[in-house]
Amino acid sequence: MTASISDLRKEYTRQGLDLADVLPDPIAQFRRWFDAALQAGVSEPNAMHLCTVGANGRPDGRIVLLKDVSNAGFVFYTNYESRKSRDLLANPFACLTFFYPDLEQQIRIEGRVEKVSDAESDAYFASRPRGSQIGAWVSPQSQPIDARETLTERQRLYEAQFADQPVPRPPHWGGFCVVPDLIEFWQGRPSRLHDRVRYRRADTDSTNWQLDRLAP
C-alpha cells in the first residue's frame, strides 16, 4: 500500500552548523557549500528555485540555473519577455533557494534584482552551445503556442537564417543579477531542531554583514 504523504519523513543526522563554523563573508560561505556539493556529486548543484512577485501581488516560482556568483550577486539568464522577467521588471526583488537533500542543506537568498550589462549577456550567450543559442530565438517564452511543431518549424527557420555564421544574442534575452541583502544557510538536524545561520547586510550599500543564529 502506498504510504500516506503525512507519514513521509526523514531524520537529518549528517552534521551540525554553528556560528563558529561559517566564514564572515556569505559569498565565500556559499562557495564553500557549493564546492562541497560539486565534490559530493550532487545533481545540478546550480539549480535554484527563483521566486518572484508580479505587479498583481501573486507569487510565482520556477527552477533556473545559476551561471555566475561574485560579490556583486547571483546571475541567471532568461528571456526578458517571459513571465519571470515581467515580474522582475514590475517588482525588482526575488528570492533564490538551493536545496541539497543528500547533504541535508538549504541556502536561501533574498535581494533586489538588476539586469546585467549587455557585454556580460553577450559574453555568456557566445559561450552557450549552438542549439541553445538557436533555442533562445525560437521560443516565445511563456506565450501560448499551437503545438510542438510550432517550435520545430521556427527552429528550422532560424537554423537556416543563421547558417554558416555565429548566432547573435536576441535583444529580448539576457541576464539578471540578484544582489543579496539576506543569505541563510540551513543544516538539517535530528528532531527537526535544524541549524540556521543568517547573514544580513547592515544597510543597502554596506559590505558588512550581521550574523545571527535562528530558531528552527
Is 192 known to be catalytic?
Answer: yes
Phi, psi of 130 (to 5 degrees): -60, -40
The residues that bridge with 32 in the sheet, in sequence order, are: none
CA distances from 195 to 116, 140, 146 (A): 34, 42, 48
In contact, 52 and 8? CB cutoff 8 Å: no
CA-angle at 160, arms to 156 and 166, nearest 5°: 115
Which of 128, 192, 196, 213 is catalytic? The answer is 192
Q: State the angle between helix axes of 130-138 and 148-161 in degrees (0 to 180), rounded to the nearest 10.
A: 120
Please give the positions annotated as active site. 192
